Structure 1
Amino acid sequence: MNIKIALAGNPNCGKTTMFNALTGSSQYVGNWPGVTVEKKGGKLKGHKDVEIIDLPGIYSLSPYTLEEVVSRNYLLGDKPDAIINIVDSTNIERNLYLTTQLVEIGIPVVIALNMTDILRKNGDQIDVKKLSHKLGCEIIETSALKGEGCKEVAEKAIALVKAKSKNVPQHTFSQEVEEALSLIEDILSYSMEEDNLHWYAIKLFERDKKVMEQIELSEDAMSRIEEIAKGCETTFDDDSESIITNERYTYISKIIKECVRRKNNSKMTSSDKIDRIVTNRFLALPIFALVMFLVYYVSISTVGTWLTDWTNDVLFGEIIPPAVENFLVSVGTAEWLNSLILDGIIGGVGAVLGFLPQMLVLFLFLAILEDCGYMARIAFIMDRIFRRFGLSGKSFIPMLIGTGCSVPGIMASRTIENESDRKMTIITTSFIPCSAKLPIIALIAGALFPESTWVGPSAYFIGVAAIIISGVILKKTKGFAGDPAPFVMELPPYHIPGAKSVLIHMLDRGKSFVKKAGTIIFLASGAIWFLSSFNWPMEMVDTAESMLATIGKVIAPVFSPLGFGNWESAVATFTGLIAKENVVGTFGILFGFAEVAENGAEIWPLLQQSFTQLSAFSFLLFNLLCAPCFAAVGAIKREMGNGKWTLIAVGYQTGFAYVISLIVYQLGMLFTGNGFGIGSAIAFVLVALILYMLFRPYKNVDNNVNVSKRAVGA
């Protein structure tokens, strides 16, 4: 007998942590809505016949967000055998709103009363036995973070399925509403299963459009239901959906008063005290800037650099290349094969993998910030800024996800209901430096700015600035005009990050990077080696006479106004479209990374011969902001839904990157004493155009008001 158990709960209730505990899955735990966009499954540990389905975090079963649609469709369409409803015991009022809906759909429900360790620490008490009786379903106290009660709640759900038990909703609405629902149930009874009858009656009473489209009722039946709803609306002097919402909260307030005892309702929690500082209107942004500066400074300029230097100088310098070369010589391989392996594979892949330690340090810090609850505050903080420029704070959530990889960040944009905001988010998400761009940042910072602490952190803030500037410009165009969608999100309580979840997050991202290095970058390195080692008649030649050099010299003039008109840089930029790490891999091959490392030298002096600090920074800017890798472009196409918008997105990203890099380089040349020329004139014209686009008035758009706030009960 195969059993399916769905996990359902509010965002940040500990649902995905419990999923990991039950299945042993390495799925990452996030602190904002939208991480779990689609349902995920895993086998219950010790039960090969029991599948656990992790549904997106939702606040209700109303079809307002994609997460709610996904969860509702699964629960009503696929019909799991049981539901484990994870309830945050520290925010029980808000969480029980979903519970009252889950118990109505006819599937056995077990409540996992989660975070009870924090509840007890706060001195609060919940009468579990009485609450279970009031809700009409079993309740197990759990702490998913510590692994307490998780096994018991799963076994209770299995027992309910095997016993074919059905929980009976204990809550009732007011007499007038119950009479109205009873009349609707009578209309539905001829075409609806009894298990779901009450739930569908409520949804039709609320005029749920998706349910009305799903159920095939005659016009006469629909008009009778409409008449019933209007009668109730007249009685309560309110719309039908608000009537049901108020009825649910009235019921929840009643049982909370009977079952929950607070130690001190007026006492500020530790999270509240911290938030008075970190989300303060004046201090929030400086604190955020300082935190991100320290994260990138430590990752790129100090600890990360020490580890990377050891990896490059020792592992890929003194250990791997000599060992591989000695082996190849001993077996008598051909010269071209030696070059392929040493200069192509080790030179290309090794140049990229050398930056893995810096990436792991960055992933570690980001995982700590996310797990402790601070990243959710960043989205809240950025909403204040974004809304001043016509953007929704909800757009910042995909950008937070995009710090690991642009692909899931772009996919997370599907949680944004406003179509214009969603498209704008898709276009701008890749401006935030993802893990693939970190090796480029580290390479340029190490080679051209060895004593500077600002280059690495500046990459992150340049991405944020690019998003804000682009958001203002795009919002004032016809395709993106309109008020931003309201942003309401929960701020979870601060807690000490779990070592296991932090390490899982760090290692998962690191594993994805190594996997890409072993596949896409491996193949790309081989192709780059071939093109850089042979000429068109297929003769093995010096790099400067190769096919790659010929191609590079054709496209290099395009980048001359940006300061990096040498063919090596042009080729590296072009190969970065396959995967951004290829920029570093290409330099590794073209500058003989394996050879210089083996001889005890470094690649830095070779890069210094090709760049000035100004041209290097311009190169960095362009590669940070231009079109992302092919995988991300594919994600853009899937989310946009058509090729036209994909071309618009890629065209805007590349054009914006070119303009910004040109302005920085040309004005930099002017201010460093190189005189005024045609490049400087073009740069001033572009600056004037950007300022005009930024400060021209919005058309047909009302003044935006910041509506960002904590969710009820958060």
Structure 2
Amino acid sequence: MSDDNRTIRVAFVGNPNCGKTTLFNAFTGARLKVANWPGVTVERVEGETIYKGQTIQVIDTPGIYSLTSYTIEEIVTRKCLEDESVDVIINVVDASSLERNLYLTLQLLELKKPVILALNMMDIVEDRGMEIDLHRLPEMLGNIPVVPVSARKRTGLDVLMHAVVHHYEEGPQGVVVTYTPRIENKISKVETVLKAHYGKLKNLRWHAIKFLEYDEEVANDHPVDLSNIIDHNYEKEIINEKYDYIEGVIHECLVNKEQKAAMTDKIDAYLTHPIWGVPLFLGIMALVFFLTFTVGDFLKGYFEIALDHLSSFMYQMMTGIHAADWITSLVVDGIVAGVGGILTFLPNIFILFLALAFLEDSGYMARVAYVMNEIMGRVGLSGKAFLPMLLGFGCTVPAVMAARALPSERDRRRTILITPFMSCSARLPIYVLFSEMFFSGHALIAAYSLYVIGLMVAILIAHVTHKMIKSQEEDTLLIELPEYKTPNARTVAIYVWDKVKDYLGKAGTTIFLASIVLWFVLNTGFHGFVTDVSQSFAAMIGRVLIPVLTPAGLGDWRIAVALISGLSAKEVVVSSFSVLFGISNINSAAGMVELSGLLGNVGFGGVNAYALMIFCLLYSPCIAAVATIKKETGSLRWTLGMVLFQLAVAWFLAVVVYQIGSLIF
């Protein structure tokens, strides 16, 4: 029996996207503590709750697929579980992907610590017409507690807490997979040697299995000569036998799986086809951008009308209170024009994220990594590296952080290097504005081509760096493709709202401040306020860059200033054009006509516009992304080198596009 005054330490462990963190938050409420795991940049979140007078301290570990120490997340979670202070493991399982999740479960049971299986997302199982035998499943796992829970609906929490307290007192239970006689004989012999050398070592069987798998962490922590026992790496055999056991569990406990699997296989025959998989992916993304432009532009018209009214209202109000001309100009021409111009692109952003959320929640995005695995393999990376790149279509910051899942530092850095070339949502306003202004009949094709070019440049650079490194390492993609499902409205809504909120947040902070700063550098010079913008600080800064940008067809100081401002956030490029050229509603039909006319006066045409979009596609990401890259790589020198490299790539390709385009058109 336990001491009632002793705090029970519980670790939440599970696959990525199993609902573990949502359940953890429901379990702990607001009593959270966030820090970093010692020596790494992966966050550690701890919380506390009380159940019937018993204090329970909980730890949310990084999402992992196994306890094999390949990625930072796996190493961190494993170290946490090996810590003697962890009393109980809550293994959060996505019930709709039971087969994939149970592999980690079997590894956790080998640790010989109390394990509780929390079956999350049972509503999805029911929606798919499947059933899980909740009596047979615990039996086949050695009578460990199996608790159906709903992280979103906060159901099953009391039962889960009761299981924690009760199971902590009972101690470890659960099935241990019995391997072939040959492997079992090896395990027994290794256990004997380990016991002789490390008599106090707990979990002898788990350590013995890890030695058979050539686990570096175990070998380094407990050096011992086993060459006369272990003749080769048994990892694949052990994995296969675990999955054989899981197959039996699924056969016994999951009803109606075959019907759903058959439907998934029929769809995958097309979407993951070795030849047609990539063209279909590009076609699906083309459809996404078709919706982004057509539906988004329809809704955008109402935002433009609202901005016109707001601009007129603010001007009349400032005039009515007899505000100074410079204050009126700051509010109307600076803040309203800059921030308001960005907000008019909100419908396009909303449609883009809505489409991406549907693709993600339906199970298709996992297929993209699988489809791209062969292409990525040819440039020295696996399909796992394509997952951060996919996230880059939304935002570079989480995309860079997602590179943590890659097994080696070399691959993480290579992936971080190429991920910013993916067109994040912040670049979309630039594409929408200039493609509709200069390629009105083919705006969709012009904008879509930039996404494809970004992808091609990323893969090309990955290929070049692979040839330079000349590494012979192979990184195999191991991923289970989830069954297709109807996207959950609530999940999609949360995803879209989170992205839209972030966009609005930038409009209210970064872009707001950038618009004010830009207005001041446009309207002030060495002698105070100026009426001629060509005498302003902005003009002085821009003129310095004219010789560099002229070969790319961007030799106007106002364009140079707009590109500099885009380093704070890419959306600021559009708001800067609005402020620089004095257009209050730059995204309206009248605003685009006025801007194209002003640009035309300095010889800026369609070729220049495409070169500009190429430059904005490829040049260094925003400050937030650069800061994240510095944090993830731990190297300021490498980060600055990456920024300079991306500037060079952007300049070179923009020059190539402009020079060749000028000869053709």
- Name the TM-score, length of structure 2 as normaliser: 0.86
8 A Cα contact 1:555 1:567, kept in partner: yes
8 A Cα contact 2:128 2:485, kept in partner: no
1:97 corresponds, among 80, 83, 103, to: 103
Residue 605 of structure 1 pairs with residue 618 of structure 2: no
1:336 to partner: Cα distance: 2.2
8 A Cα contact 2:586 2:595, kept in partner: no
Residue 186 of structure 1 pairs with residue 175 of structure 2: no
8 A Cα contact 1:113 1:139, kept in partner: no
In the other structure, the counterpart of 1:83 is: 89
- Residues 638-677 of structure 1: pairs in structure 2 closer than 5 A: 638-672=631-665
The letter of the residue matching 2:461 is S
- Residues 193-592 of structure 1: pairs in structure 2 closer than 5 A: 194=202, 196=203, 198-204=205-211, 206-214=213-221, 222-223=223-224, 226-227=225-226, 230-231=228-229, 233=230, 238-239=232-233, 241=235, 244-245=238-239, 248-249=242-243, 252=246, 259-260=252-253, 268-299=261-292, 301-311=293-303, 313-318=304-309, 320-452=310-442, 453-477=444-468, 479=469, 481-482=471-472, 485-592=475-582
Query: Aligned pair count?
Result: 640
Aligned mates of 1:456, 1:634 — CA distance in 2? 28
- Residues 41-80 of structure 1: pairs in structure 2 closer than 5 A: 53-77=59-83, 79-80=85-86
- Residues 166-177 of structure 1: pairs in structure 2 closer than 5 A: 166-171=171-176, 173=178, 176-177=185-186
The letter of the residue matching 1:656 is V
Deviations 1:381-426 (A, max 9, x none): 1223333444432221111111221122122223222444332211
Deviations 1:631-670 (A, max 9, x none): 2222333333323432332222122211211111111111
Counterpart secondary structure, 2:399: helix
The letter of the residue matching 2:138 is S
| Unaligned runs of at least 5 residues, structure 2 | 31-40
8 A Cα contact 2:396 2:420, kept in partner: yes
The letter of the residue matching 2:302 is W
56-65 or 381-390, which deviates more: 381-390
Aligned mates of 1:436, 1:117 — CA distance in 2? 35
Aligned mates of 1:449, 1:382 — CA distance in 2? 31
Aligned mates of 1:350, 1:457 — CA distance in 2? 25
Aligned mates of 2:539, 2:62 — CA distance in 1? 50
Q: Label 1:340 to 1:142 Cα distance change in 2 as closer, same or farther (>3 A).
A: same
Aligned mates of 1:22, 1:455 — CA distance in 2? 49
Counterpart secondary structure, 1:436: helix
60-69 or 163-172, which deviates more: 163-172
1:4 to partner: Cα distance: 5.1
Q: Label 1:181 to 1:252 Cα distance change in 2 as closer, same or farther (>3 A).
A: farther
Residue 165 of structure 1 pairs with residue 158 of structure 2: no
Q: Label 1:334 to 1:387 Cα distance change in 2 as closer, same or farther (>3 A).
A: same
Q: Label 1:634 to 1:148 Cα distance change in 2 as closer, same or farther (>3 A).
A: closer
Deviations 1:4-42 (A, max 9, x none): 5433223455545655766789xxxxxxxxxx9655567
Aligned mates of 2:518, 2:10 — CA distance in 1? 49
Residue 632 of structure 1 pairs with residue 625 of structure 2: yes
Aligned mates of 1:464, 1:343 — CA distance in 2? 37
Counterpart secondary structure, 2:525: coil
By relative contact order (CA 8 Å, sep 6+), the higher-ranking structure is 1
Aligned mates of 2:244, 2:370 — CA distance in 1? 29
8 A Cα contact 2:109 2:176, kept in partner: no
The letter of the residue matching 1:457 is Y
1:59 to partner: Cα distance: 2.6
The letter of the residue matching 1:590 is L
The letter of the residue matching 1:364 is L
586-595 or 526-535, which deviates more: 586-595
1:571 to partner: Cα distance: 0.9
8 A Cα contact 1:142 1:148, kept in partner: no
408-417 or 583-592, which deviates more: 408-417
> Aligned residues: percent identity?
38
344-353 or 87-96, which deviates more: 87-96
- Name the TM-score, length of structure 1 as normaliser: 0.80
4-13 or 282-291, which deviates more: 4-13
